[in-house]
């Protein structure tokens, strides 16, 4: 079993497949992203977290976790039932990773709840920092509240009687005169790994609270929670987009060449698929006296598709309507086209499988309810700004331009910008490597390169600076 380096921090996300209240809950999409992937994205965006691991018994959850950049630990059936505790799943994952081995180095565990869709990476960073510096043994997410809590109890004399839980009903202080109390959100718990394994529970030692924004306190238990989170996602995700986007660019190898901006997400994909009506067109048509239809398209979109093709990125048009104008446009653009579809999801699966393209590596741009099966399949579901509400709810990003007015060009530019950023970083790394090799070839063995000292040379420099004498 491999050992973790000293001071490492591992995030563990328990996500079982057998949710009873809301089947498939952990892969339900909010803002176009499965819940378990949202938790993984938040953890991966926290720079102090070294590894992100999802422990699950479900294949679909595992696939979503891997696509999001997490590792997966197989969760045993006996730890995946409704009666199994989250602690048992975290403990099993830590054991599988070797953190319980004799002499295992000090470590920090971040236990995240997959059903909390709006975890802020900055809150995770702050909580990890407090544990790392020894301020607390465990820090958990909570939101401040000044609410007056009540409880009903049975009273033999008067029947049901409500009593104040956190206040005296006879004294009603003003909000500003009350100290806030904190409601545990369940979103995350950060603790010393050794302390958790010894206590066998998430709360031990010195306990601290990481106050989080009330909007981030939502957790998904039922369909009403899911609907509320989907409605809030466009607004909340804009606040979190910079950190998440930067992390995705880093993982894809484009971090130093990418400036995070909520308007310009890092869409790193291998294929682009679109609807036709309302995406390539403005969703209107003209009919002449012979009943022939014509639509208006954007030359900018055509140029964008051409650039995608030149970059080797395949493009597919899916249309519910069988119309010669669709095939004519696809032919002119030089892209694949399938029309007359009742199920765009199945058609997309077949096309992707035939080309060997992973669904999580596809961007799909749609505008209506018929696009939902496809939007729910891909890694980057997108919508035009005037799309149907159901389609907007599924979108990971909403474009600024409308259908028929440059929406496809906007998407093409985003995809190509992500690819260009990756190329710039790769080219820079290659140039640095070549430069280092060239310098090394002209230098005597052991000679110091001030710009690129070896590890031993760095240690010697540090020792000299501190006055420490080391043996030759």
Nearest to 282 by CA among 404, 388, 438, 442: 404
pLDDT tens per residue across span 211-229: 999 999 999 999 999 999 9
Task: Flag whether pLDDT at 451 surpasses 60.
Answer: no
Distance, CA of 236 to CA of 30 (rounded, Å)? 11
Task: Flag whether pLDDT at 466 surpasses 70.
Answer: no
What's the chain's Rg over C-alpha atoms? Answer: 27
Distance, CA of 235 to CA of 241 (rounded, Å)? 10
Q: What is the pLDDT of residue 4?
A: 42
List the domains of the chain with CATH numbers.
Answer: 8-147+181-251 (3.90.550.10), 265-419 (3.40.50.1000)
User: pLDDT category, 457, cuts 50, 70, 90?
Assistant: low
Residue 13: beta bridge partners?
54
Distance, CA of 362 to CA of 71 (rounded, Å)? 21
**What pTM did the predictor assign?**
0.77
Q: What is the pLDDT of residue 263?
A: 72
Task: Flag whether pLDDT at 242 surpasses 90.
Answer: no
Phi and psi based region of residue 31 (left: phi greater than 0; alpha: psi -120 to 50; beta: remaining): left
Task: State residue 139 phi and psi, 5-degree precision.
Answer: -130, 130
pLDDT tens per residue across span 127-163: 999 999 999 999 999 999 988 888 887 665 556 678 8
Nearest to 360 by CA among 237, 273, 269: 269
Maximum Cα–Cα distance for the chain, whole Å? 96
Q: 164 is written with which tokens?
A: 């104040």
Distance, CA of 121 to CA of 47 (rounded, Å)? 9
Distance, CA of 51 to CA of 65 (rounded, Å)? 13
Mean pLDDT confidence for 435-453: 52
Q: What is the mean pLDDT of the chain?
A: 86
pLDDT tens per residue across span 29-70: 999 899 999 999 999 999 899 999 999 999 999 999 999 999
User: pLDDT category, 176, cuts 50, 70, 90?
Assistant: confident
Q: Which residues contact 301 (CB under 8 A, 6 or more apart)?
A: 280, 404, 406, 407, 408, 409, 412
Distance, CA of 469 to CA of 5 (rounded, Å)? 27
Q: What is the pLDDT of residue 449?
A: 52
Q: What is the pLDDT of residue 174?
A: 83
Spatial contact of 354 and 369, defined as CB atoms under 8 Å apart? no
Question: Which CB contacts under 8 angstroms, 24+ apart, belong to 241-250?
Answer: 241/265, 243/45, 243/120, 243/121, 243/122, 244/41, 244/42, 244/45, 244/121, 246/45, 247/41, 247/44, 247/45, 247/121, 248/41, 248/44, 248/69, 249/418, 249/421
Q: Which residues contact 419 (CB under 8 A, 6 or more apart)?
A: 268, 311, 313
pLDDT tens per residue across span 382-427: 999 999 999 998 999 999 999 999 999 999 999 999 998 888 877 7
Q: 409 is written with which tokens?
A: 């060009």
Task: State residue 225 phi and psi, 5-degree precision.
Answer: -60, -40
328 or 471, which is more confident?
A: 328
Nearest to 68 by CA among 26, 97, 38: 38
């Amino acid at each position: 079993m491999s050992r973790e380096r000293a001071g490492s921090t591992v995030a563990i996300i328990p996500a079982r497949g057998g949710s009873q209240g809301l089947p498939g809950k952990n892969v339900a999409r909010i803002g176009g992203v499965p819940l378990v992937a949202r938790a993984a994205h938040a953890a991966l965006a926290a720079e102090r977290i070294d590894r992100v691991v999802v422990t699950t018994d479900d294949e679909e959850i595992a696939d979503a976790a891997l696509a999001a950049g997490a590792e997966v630990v197989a969760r045993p059936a006996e730890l995946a039932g409704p009666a199994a505790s989250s602690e048992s799943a975290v403990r099993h994952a830590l054991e599988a990773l070797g953190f319980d081995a004799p002499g295992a180095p000090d470590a920090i565990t971040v236990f995240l709840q997959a059903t909390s869709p709006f975890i802020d990476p900055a809150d995770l960073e702050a909580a990890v920092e407090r544990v790392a510096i020894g301020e607390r043994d465990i820090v958990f997410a909570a939101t401040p509240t000044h609410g007056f809590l009540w409880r009903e109890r049975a009273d033999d004399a008067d029947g049901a009687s409500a009593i104040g839980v956190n206040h005296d009903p006879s004294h009603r202080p003003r909000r500003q005169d009350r100290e806030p109390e904190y409601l545990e959100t369940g979103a995350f718990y950060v603790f010393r790994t050794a302390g958790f394994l010894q206590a066998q529970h998430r709360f031990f030692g010195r306990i601290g609270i990481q106050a989080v924004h009330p909007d981030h306190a939502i957790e998904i238990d039922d369909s009403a929670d899911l609907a509320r989170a989907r409605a809030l996602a466009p607004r909340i995700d804009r606040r979190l987009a910079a950190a998440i986007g930067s992390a995705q660019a880093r993982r894809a190898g484009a971090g130093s060449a990418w400036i995070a901006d909520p308007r310009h997400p890092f869409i790193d994909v291998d294929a682009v698929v679109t609807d036709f009506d309302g995406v390539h067109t403005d969703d209107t048509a003209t009919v002449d006296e012979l009943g022939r239809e014509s639509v208006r398209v954007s030359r900018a979109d055509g140029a964008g598709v051409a650039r995608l093709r030149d970059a080797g990125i395949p493009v597919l048009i899916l249309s519910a309507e069988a119309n010669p104008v669709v095939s004519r446009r696809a032919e002119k653009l030089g892209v694949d086209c399938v029309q007359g579809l009742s199920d765009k999801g199945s058609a997309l699966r077949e096309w992707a499988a035939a080309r060997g393209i992973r669904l999580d590596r596809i961007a799909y741009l749609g505008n209506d309810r018929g696009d939902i099966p496809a939007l729910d399949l891909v890694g980057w579901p997108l919508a035009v700004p005037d799309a149907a509400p159901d389609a907007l709810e599924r979108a990971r990003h909403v474009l600024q331009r409308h259908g028929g007015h440059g929406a496809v060009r906007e998407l093409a530019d985003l995809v190509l910008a992500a690819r260009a950023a990756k190329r710039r970083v790769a080219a820079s790394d290659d140039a640095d490597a070549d430069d280092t090799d060239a310098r090394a070839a002209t230098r005597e063995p052991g000679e110091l390169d001030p710009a690129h000292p070896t590890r031993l040379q760095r240690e010697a420099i540090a020792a000299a600076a501190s006055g420490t004498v080391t043996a030759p």
